Structure 1
Amino acid sequence: MKRLLIIWMLAHPLQHYQCSAVIFKMTNAVCESYNKTWVEFGLCRLRAVSRNKVCLNVDANLLYPVHDVIVKARLLKRANGYKPWLYSVSFDGCQFIRRRNNALIRIVWELFKEYSTINHTCPYVGLQQVKNFYLRSEKLPTPIPTGEYLLMIDWVFNKKPQAATNVYFTFVEDLKDS
């Protein structure tokens, strides 16, 4: 037990120091509706707040009630074009909101839940928003390598692809501070 306490005490200050030496910033956001009679994007924009802080704002208007949501997400890393890298996951969005039983999806959920109106169970209808969301490295349980990334999310409602949101971001460890 003492050994674990000592390891935690040594790691905790290093973890805090590591977070302050990181740049974690969104660079682009693209939202596309495949079926404008079902989903309309009123806003899909990044807003620079400071040099290293960029906020994402998305307004999606769901014109019909959505009872069945499948989310297909992929994380790609740029290396001579965007290549599959870390994760490709597909999950039932309604079931996850009810139970939050997927650890990987829960990590992403913890990043943006306080900025979103998508925090209730199905059905979803009307305006759904992500407002003033920004990336915070201290919310990630493990570090990722320096690089440019693309998070591609396809939204499937009632077994039909309806929309896609692609968020580009950069993760840079500032090695001169460490």
Structure 2
Amino acid sequence: MEYCFIKPINRTYKYVSVRGNIFQRNVTKIKMNFSISKRVNGYRPFLYNITVDSCRFLRNTSSHPTAEFFYNILKSHSNLNHTCPYDHDVIIDKLPIGYINHQLTHVLPFPEGEYLVETYWFAYDIRRAYVGFYGTIS
């Protein structure tokens, strides 16, 4: 990971930026495991723990509705908008926290609380990266 941060611009506007370097070019076999945990006497599994073959999913995003919902949150602010092979770094640039909050409270109403979103990225069935986000919905 080159960088992964949340930048506060003012009291109401914050954004997330992530850049993950791909060292081997033309990656054609990618899987992603995505899970959400809620803090209740420690972090406990909450709603989702899914594994998606990313190359297959990006060919037909409607094949997995849960993954499609979360992909649509990222799609407009990232370069994850094409199928394999990936021959460039993965970038999520200036994804507004307010937009994420709207999607997770109005579109798919999550209850208030503290959450952990974990993603594990696999290339050729070998775990290559872990990205975890801690957040609060209030």
TM-score (norm 1): 0.70
Q: Give how far 1:88 is off.
A: 0.5
Query: Are 1:139 and 2:100 matched, yes or no?
Result: no
Query: Are 1:75 and 2:36 matched, yes or no?
Result: yes
* SS of residue matched to 1:50: coil
Query: Are 1:42 and 2:2 matched, yes or no?
Result: yes
What are structure 2's unaligned runs of at least 5 residues? Answer: none
Map 1:53-132 onto structure 2 (within 5 A): 53-64=13-24, 65-100=26-61, 101-132=63-94
CA RMSD of aligned residues (A): 1.3
Q: Which has the greater radius of gyration?
A: 1
Aligned counterparts of 1:107 and 1:46: Cα–Cα separation in 2:
22
Aligned counterparts of 1:149 and 1:134: Cα–Cα separation in 2:
18
What are structure 1's unaligned runs of at least 5 residues? Answer: 1-40, 173-178
* SS of residue matched to 2:41: coil
Amino acid at match of 1:70: K
Q: Once the two structures are aligned, what percentage of the paired residues are identical? A: 27
